A and B are shown apart, each in its own frame.
Chain A
Amino acid sequence: EAGVAQSPRYKIIEKRQSVAFWCNPISGHATLYWYQQILGQGPKLLIQFQNNGVVDDSQLPKDRFSAERLKGVDSTLKIQPAKLEDSAVYLCASSLVTGYPREQYFGPGTRLTVT
């Protein structure tokens, strides 16, 4: 079974530029999560989708971050404009909708450096 795919793996941008990350979840997983993991910290949930709908985006900085999940499969996370403090690893995870707690399967992440 293929895992969660993310691209790009690494990205370096200057502050005030924009950037987008892509995630392809495990086939059949209706729930998709985006996390931000700053160096030396645990992952923090940014947004959770179930199919196309947003379940939780309470910690998403909506003035600069946006995310979408078209057709309930792939998802993109965008930052515009980026700030230095956005330097982090952005992890995508997916899970089934059945059972509780739902086991989340993580992708390898995209390491973003903002200079």
Chain B
Amino acid sequence: QKEVEQDPGPLSVPEGAIVSLNCTYSNSAFQYFMWYRQYSRKGPELLMYTYSSGNKEDGRFTAQVDKSSKYISLFIRDSQPSDSATYLCAMILSRSGNTGKLIFGQGTTLQVKP
């Protein structure tokens, strides 16, 4: 079993739709939860991160963490064609004694159609 599981998609939605991207994980020691966006032929870029459980909002993006279910989500409101990319979740163990190593999911490819 992989430590982090992510549905690879592809996911295709019309412009303006609400998009929900999800990851599950098995290691309860993960404390930091990130979402990266990767455009074709580019490196990943950090969208946002959350510490422990709860919600975090940044513009059209909302990240949610449910540690009891080992489940994280990224919601994109009013999706735009420019949001078309691969979205990668990533997780880090707690700070104590760890190097901050990122464990990535396999990524979900999103296409937003005009």
Contacts and interface: CB of A to CB of B under 8 A. Distances in A.
A107 B8 CA distance: 23
B9 to A, nearest CB: 10
Q: What does DSSP make chain A's interface, helix, strand, loop or mixed?
A: loop
A106 interface: yes
A43 to B, nearest CB: 5
Interface residue tally of chain A, by bracket? 20 to 34
Contacts of B76: none
Contact of A42 (B6, B32, B100): B6
A48 interface: yes
A56 B102 CA distance: 12
Nearest to B34: A101
Interface of A: 4, 40-45, 48, 55-56, 91, 93, 95, 100-109
B90 interface: yes
Given A42-B105, A42-B106, A43-B104, A100 B95 contact: yes
Contacts of B6: 42
B104 A101 contact: no
Nearest to A38: B106
Contacts of A91: 43-44
A23 B107 CA distance: 24
A48 B101 contact: yes
